[in-house]
A and B are shown apart, each in its own frame.
Chain A
């Protein structure tokens, strides 16, 4: 027994001694599931950060399209989330959790991520592709904020940004696009030129929304014929939220998007399947027959971001009836529709131009901005005071844009002060 006791006590004492000696390194641990910021070199990793900024907007873009399609009447909310039905009713409260999590957080991440790249002291800043890329998507993210939100903000480095009106935001977007156009053009690679051209379209849209038709027309005209910039998406089961086409995700996985009755029409630009042509079910059976969109029939369906076609519409909007009718009829002909035969007064033609644009850019997130700019010419938006399409809810309200969520306004001193 004595031997055992001695052995144990000696072992314990030595063990504690060893433990005490090792104490100073005991607390050093690795946590490999986060990226310690100190391990990132902003200059060497600038391409990674710029690409990330692009993907941030690509992810936000899908969310913005989906919610604005509910808000502007392209689609119906075929699911039960109360917060999403607020979009369908055009009454989005600033406490709405979906507004924060799905829209504001994503669009502001897109802005902040791109701006972070632009604030780096990168080499060859006048031709650096990372500058062109970041500026392009900073421009688009700010532009989209201006188009869909009633107000906005742009962070100033690590400090919260000021409260900005849509006009302020559009001006900022123009500045970013200008940088992107300059640097992308100077870069002169295919990538750089594509970004510069996408930025031309974006700047034209920003000018148009701000009422600067001359500048909008100039930019639109500068876009080369046939230009299209698509965001690629991929079918990655493990990264659906970031890399996949959101519209298909919420059609097939969740059953949230049903084509609105006004768009259940025969036009190749509005592709859909009737309930008898598919076997998916809406998440909310109260939402009626489930007409699923087919514009994006897969997780890897690309979404168009910028194109000469949009530039054409922007240009036409700045021009007269004749140019508008020409584009209208060209688009109708291209899509197996008879020539326009309605009234040819300026307002009617503009309405038809917007109708064609809505069809051409169906589920591309343009309709809400167009509606805010031309409320009398953009049709098939849910009408205030009319019953919501599902029972039990209050009637459609008269909102035209989303409020900035209180997660921002409560914590941004520029709002609270």
Chain B
């Protein structure tokens, strides 16, 4: 019987049994309430945003800016109140609630780096204390970062260099462009290595979109406003991500938005205003050329060569000459309102961000509105409802692998084409009659409209039984426009000059339905606790893509497709649905020894018809050693120590339709001129297609020492992808247009992650904290299942990193004869994934008012293909390295360009064959190792005395931040972080890509 049917029956039976319990609730007794203030024990300062909850109920509220909280609808009797706040030791106490009365209970919290009492919601069935978690789930304290570091403007920047094991690549200095996120390396060859994203438990579509500008794409993560986010939790690999099912092997990122302050009877507002600037810390190289006889003549139109000797080396820098680069600017306005009434809370936000990039047609604009509402009708039921709306408009410039871009136009131009007689020409640029004005005139606009909605009900019919229902939608619409304006100057190619407009409309509807039940029972006088979780998750994704192209317009203003003389269009649609069932049993002994056993079963519409359901088990344990009796003598050295180990499996689902044998529509032009339908084979299909299987073992420890001033996290992970979904290369002669997915091969990622954080100095008026983190990565393609190595640049071959750079390695350079001997075959040259990444963050707080923070990060042991220099030196000879024989040594010239003796082949293979720089590319595969001073930020919490004259203002913070202050690197190009094709998994080309600019931001935060 089909598994879905069997499980459907089981679910039906469960609910029939549970229904009486769910619906037959007793009549509510009269309730009381608990209120109080939470303050810092050392400074007596109020602590905002602390979570306060009553154990065994659904009641949870948070403190306001004054540290006040109020828990309504508490049932009479004894109630345990728990207070949690990141950076503080958990506080708890028991109160006796009397019906109709308000109990006051204040808490003092001590600063601590201990994290064992923190509660995480990701990677686990229900909220779970970190002490019980067998696999590491990292938490990024987003709200604090946004407040203190003005240059943080996106979710990607929130993640950059904050968590070991998460690599965020700033692949371009283009405003609004995509950033690549990798967690614990790359574990798939043909499927995405991007992590799954959830927002408040609802699956979030993170595509990248591009109008086709040559490299950069937009990033749907940019739809999110960081100011709406309370925290981000990151599940790094299968060991923790099992419960997310057959699509989570690249990790899971859970974004948790801010909530209202139920019970507070208050309303507070914050206003944030940013202004900023950005500037390229880079001067593009000049273009060179040797003057010809015609160009040096007295009547030559070339002002550089006219009157010079033949062969004179002249140079030009059109980007600098015409001022193509500009200072960018940033403005950001954000408002939030937060408060609540007797039994409800709300969070409201509105924001507008606008960034102008460093070339004239690069702009990013975002408007966000969010409304989160939480309702506590009684102690058994809470309801959270949230709606986030966003509009994002990104104007991407042409660049990267693109002759219409500023960098392509400027860096590939020739000084020999300069003219001062007004005759249309290249005039030093690459394109004919295409300089700053004509490049700027190109429109590449991506407009996203997004609605994120979630409705979550937590129902606790009894202290031992909790239920969580989540319904969520992610409705996404985008409009993409690429427009070449009509012109008479032949600025672009061919018929594009008549005006060409491509409009694309993409709609993605994604639904998430999630249920999670949890039963908790203690045995043997509370020595043993069993915690049984079970649930189901349904997701559905429908993607519609419609495009139209029009060519030939009367005027540029009238550029709708209907106005074009020639029109064409297309449409496609995909569906994907999945269903997963999960169960987990956690056994805890004395609240310090924990074992978890879990299982998820998945089915997906993309699996092959013959494919079995996908079973994903997990097992893990956590042991708080420092709470054992035998540990007491060690408490002085290491006050808290936890050991953890976990093993689990997840997967990666194939794309919709991947299992089918398919044809592709391919029209036919008959001799009569008529066009009729045709079809060509596309994919031979695979009936047995199933997900990739990600399997991970991780082991680690968390320790706190030096009087709780230092916290250390060490994790070793060993992640293996089996049944890798590989598009097995077929010989093209079989006639299929696409290679079929097969489950084959094995990929391994192993590494250590270490994070040490602490307080170097803690005095009344001075606090110096720091965090040092690093991770290693050993990525290896272990087994290709008999498939021959493939790809000729970023190659997939056993025993090497995925996408390893290959070249015909130089064996010998004979400077006398000029003969350069190279290998016969392509050989591995270097990694594209860094094998070490690290970061250092430090902050100093003075007089509780001033905070100075700095962040430095590094990536080591990887190579970048400097394709910009390759083109400038070997294809279009523009570089003085090539043209001025005195710049490089003879040996280096031979290494880069091969034998320059007339009539001789550039490179000779050991077997006597000849080859070219297209295969001997080691000079352009350059080490990308770098250390970057990523952020420096200074903030000042304005003292109250300065605010007295400002009516209604209860607090203010003034900050200034700088991003990308300096980079140390031996890389020869503009920026080793660049990825000219950021959306492609295995590529690290720097090809006419905008470097990351230096950005300054001044920020004012006002609280009302």
Residue ranges of A at the interface with B (Cβ–Cβ < 8 Å): 1-2, 4-6, 8-10, 12-13, 16-17, 19-21, 23-24, 26-38, 40, 45, 48-49, 51-52, 54-56, 58, 80, 82-83, 85-86, 91, 93, 95-97, 100, 104-105, 108-109, 111-113, 116, 153-155, 158, 160-161, 191, 230, 232-239, 242-243, 252-255, 279-281, 283-286, 385-387, 391-395, 397, 405-408, 410-412, 416
Contacts and interface: CB of A to CB of B under 8 A. Distances in A.
B490 A280 contact: yes
B681 A112 contact: yes
B12 A407 contact: no
A24 B914 contact: no
B293 interface: no
Interface string B720-744: 0000000001111111010000000
A284 B27 CA distance: 82
B557 interface: no
A151 B995 CA distance: 45
Contact of B457 (A8, A55, A286): A8
A323 B763 CA distance: 107
A285 B426 contact: yes
22 contacts: A9-B23, A23-B8, A28-B605, A34-B662, A37-B685, A56-B680, A82-B874, A91-B916, A238-B569, A239-B667, A242-B667, A253-B493, A279-B490, A280-B494, A281-B431, A281-B432, A286-B876, A397-B905, A405-B732, A408-B732, A410-B790, A412-B733
Contacts of A17: 11-12, 15
Contact of B15 (A16, A27, A233, A236): A16
Interface string B491-515: 0011110000000000000000101
B732 A100 contact: yes
Q: Which of A5, A86, A252, A385 has the most CB of B within 10 A?
A: A5
Interface in B22-41: 22-23, 25, 27-28
A416 B731 CA distance: 11
B673 A387 contact: no
B18 interface: yes
Contacts of B426: 285
A305 to B, nearest CB: 11
A133 to B, nearest CB: 11
Nearest to B576: A29
Residue from the set A29, A36, A408, A410 with the largest chain B CB neighbour count within 10 Å: A29
Given A253-B493, A283-B403, A10 B876 contact: no
A88 B233 CA distance: 55
A37 to B, nearest CB: 4
Contact of B918 (A2, A82, A252): A82
B2 interface: yes
A155 B733 contact: yes
Contact of B677 (A48, A91, A242, A387): A48
Dominant secondary structure of chain B at its interface with chain A = mixed
- Category for how many chain B residues contact A: 35 or more
Nearest to B678: A52
Contacts of A2: 25, 27-28
Given A19-B513, A55-B667, A252 B493 contact: yes
A10 B23 contact: yes
Contacts of A252: 493-495
Given A237-B566, A238-B570, A410 B789 contact: yes
A31 B575 contact: yes
Interface in B547-582: 549, 551, 566-570, 572-579
Interface in B487-540: 490, 493-496, 513, 515, 536, 538, 540
Contacts of B729: 407, 410-411
A40 B679 contact: yes
Contact of A55 (B18, B417, B666): B666
Given A5-B459, A12-B457, A56-B680, 4 more contacts: A35-B682, A52-B678, A253-B494, A394-B905
Given A24-B8, A26-B579, A37-B662, A109 B675 contact: no
Interface of B: 2, 4-5, 7-9, 11-12, 15, 18-19, 22-23, 25, 27-28, 377-378, 380-381, 383, 403, 412, 414, 417, 426, 430-433, 457, 459, 467, 469, 490, 493-496, 513, 515, 536, 538, 540, 549, 551, 566-570, 572-579, 603-605, 656-657, 660-673, 675-685, 729-735, 737, 787-790, 792, 826, 871, 873-877, 882, 897-899, 902-906, 914-919
Contact of A85 (B380, B671, B875): B875
A155 B904 CA distance: 39
A91 to B, nearest CB: 6
Contacts of A21: 8, 12
Contacts of B573: 30-33
A153 B5 CA distance: 49
A35 B669 contact: no
A8 B735 contact: no
A285 B414 contact: yes
A154 B732 CA distance: 10
A58 B680 CA distance: 14
Contact of B876 (A28, A32, A392): A392
Contact of B788 (A26, A32, A108, A410): A410
Contacts of A160: 731, 733-734
Nearest to A243: B669
Given A5-B381, A9-B459, A243-B667, A385 B733 contact: no
Contacts of A9: 22-23, 25, 459
What 8 pairs across the A-B complex have the smallest Cβ distances? A112-B735, A238-B568, A281-B432, A33-B572, A52-B678, A252-B494, A29-B575, A392-B877
A28 B141 CA distance: 41
Contacts of B23: 6, 9-10, 13
Contact of A155 (B671, B735, B916): B735
A232 B671 contact: yes
Contacts of B903: 385-386, 395
A241 B432 CA distance: 25
Contact of A6 (B25, B494, B669): B25
Nearest to B549: A237
A258 B575 CA distance: 46
A1 B513 contact: no
A392 B893 CA distance: 12
Given A34-B682, A80-B875, A234-B669, A5 B377 contact: yes
A146 to B, nearest CB: 14
Contacts of B684: 158
A237 B568 contact: yes
B587 to A, nearest CB: 27
